Chains A and B, each alone.
Chain A
């Protein structure tokens, strides 16, 4: 795009990469988002709630486009709709202890309707149709200093809340019944966690777009948990992978014409495939040895 092109002199590449302020801001925002998404996603995968993340992200799309329509920053729409959605999901869960029989039909309808609302708002806005692609698939162009500060402040808040509930949350995630018996307020902890997830989803949406949040929120933690079972190590690995996918993805996207949504998802997915492939090979060889 604006760059002279990629060379094998990495020093001059880095110099090129950071010569424009928008790229510096993209890296700042990407770093904040990757750390927040890696840590919160780690709990999300542990609790097998990754589809909650998906649903919240889809709710974020009408939020963001509605905010643009009434003339306020899309960030407010992301945060407002995600947190409201998390509270609703938390409340609905409480009402129905058993498995609801047609849950998948409801989820499918709600998702499609939320996306349709987002499309309506974008159409009513009469803006460029390019905006739809930005909201859905993310863009690293034009991130302002104020947006980076907002991302940092909200991210820190979410991580502090996560740190407060981390121990009871881990207990409740691994064995909710025993945790409840030992006096852990499981309901409160899981609702607070949903709100924390909503904040993380809203942050991630602003970098990866509403449809691609999985690439930072779920894929890196899932890969890390496949590598090691030790909690601290795998959380650190998750953050490292999210950072790597974001940094390298942004760089590739800067030097080539490929969109950042594609490069970031592909890097995260490649790591996932690599780790699972290696595990599959290892168990296969092990089985072969046993058979002999």
Chain B
């Protein structure tokens, strides 16, 4: 933030550029969704499910590109499908880390296959496509894409807010929630579907490999800063939006620094600051992770 203040002269025509406007429009929607969803991902101990979804996002996007479909179609089909599937299967088999890791690796291997199909099938050997999917290209969004990304981000945020109360109950104490008539299983499946949508959104902003940071870091920081769940919930969303804004601004001022790195560095910096300066050393409320 001090970088912002000291360099405010360079930020004079910051908002005048259409690519910055589009990045901020899309980035705000995406970040709000990631931060709010991320709060529950961290609270429910499902960060590794998010990791799997990010791998799937990469493969899905490149599969769509390889067969000439819009990358976002592939993203949505793949991540929402896997998210819901994970929610349905997750209750039964307690998959060990070897199983998850083997599936991860193979999914990524498939992604590599699609990269090579894509680069050989298109005449204009566009090898940067996989780099964009992996690491995002928030400055490369068209106006239409930015509006769609922002509206989907808003929709995801609204959906999370709508199910927030029962979901918090189910996350903190699943058996009591079930006894009180909360549809715990349905909520879990629906929530992982939302994480899937959120993963698609974040892939466009920071890329498939870094979206885990945008989901985990603001939520981790928020949970460090406060005990009160609703404060942490909104704080997580706000921190994610802040990370995207600071990241976009830093990358605008120093064009050598890619925006994905600046966004991730801000988010990770917030988390580190919260760990060092946060009022709490350990979390008081600690639900047992459902998976």
- Point out residues on A near B: beta carbons under 8 Å: 45, 48, 50-51, 54, 101-102, 104-113, 115-117, 119-120, 123-124, 129-130, 132-133, 136-137, 211-212, 214-215, 218-219, 222, 257-259, 261-262, 264-266, 268-269, 272
Contacts of A101 in B (CB 8 A): 282-283, 286
Contacts of B105 in A (CB 8 A): 211-212, 214-215, 218-219, 265, 268-269
Shortest Cβ distance from B129 into chain A, in angstroms? 10
Contacts of A133 in B (CB 8 A): 112, 115, 127, 130-131
Shortest Cβ distance from B44 into chain A, in angstroms? 10
- Point out residues on B near A: beta carbons under 8 Å: 42, 45, 47-48, 50-51, 96-98, 101-106, 108-110, 112-113, 115-116, 120, 127-128, 130-131, 134-135, 207, 209-217, 219-220, 223-224, 256-258, 260-261, 264-265, 267-268, 271, 282-283, 286, 289
Judging by beta carbons under 8 Å apart, are A123 and B258 in contact? yes
Q: Given A104-B48, A258-B113, are A113 and B265 also a contact pair (CB < 8 Å)?
A: yes
Shortest Cβ distance from A254 into chain B, in angstroms? 14
22 A–B contacts, CB within 8 A, in A order = A102-B42, A102-B220, A104-B42, A105-B223, A106-B220, A109-B267, A115-B209, A116-B213, A116-B260, A116-B264, A116-B265, A119-B135, A123-B261, A130-B127, A215-B105, A215-B106, A218-B98, A219-B101, A257-B120, A258-B116, A262-B109, A265-B112
4 A-B pairs besides A119-B261, A259-B116 with CB distance below 8 A are A105-B223, A112-B214, A123-B257, A214-B105
Q: Which residue of A lies closest to B213 (CB)?
A: A112
Shortest Cβ distance from A40 into chain B, in angstroms? 15
Judging by beta carbons under 8 Å apart, are B256 and A266 in contact? no
Judging by beta carbons under 8 Å apart, are A104 and B47 in contact? yes
Among A106, A113, A264, the one with the most B-chain Cβ atoms within 10 Å of its Cβ is A113
Please classify the interface of chain B as helix (H, G, I), strand (E, B), loop, or mixed, using the class held by over half of its residues.
Answer: helix
Judging by beta carbons under 8 Å apart, are B102 and A214 in contact? yes
Contact of B108 among A113, A211, A219 (CB under 8 A): A211
Q: Which residue of A lies closest to B125 (CB)?
A: A130
Contact of B110 among A110, A120, A262, A264 (CB under 8 A): A262
Q: Which residue of B lies closest to A126 (CB)?
A: B256
Contacts of A104 in B (CB 8 A): 42, 45, 47-48, 216, 289
Q: Which residue of A lies closest to B51 (CB)?
A: A108
Judging by beta carbons under 8 Å apart, are A222 and B98 in contact? yes
Judging by beta carbons under 8 Å apart, are B106 and A129 in contact? no
Shortest Cβ distance from B226 into chain A, in angstroms? 14
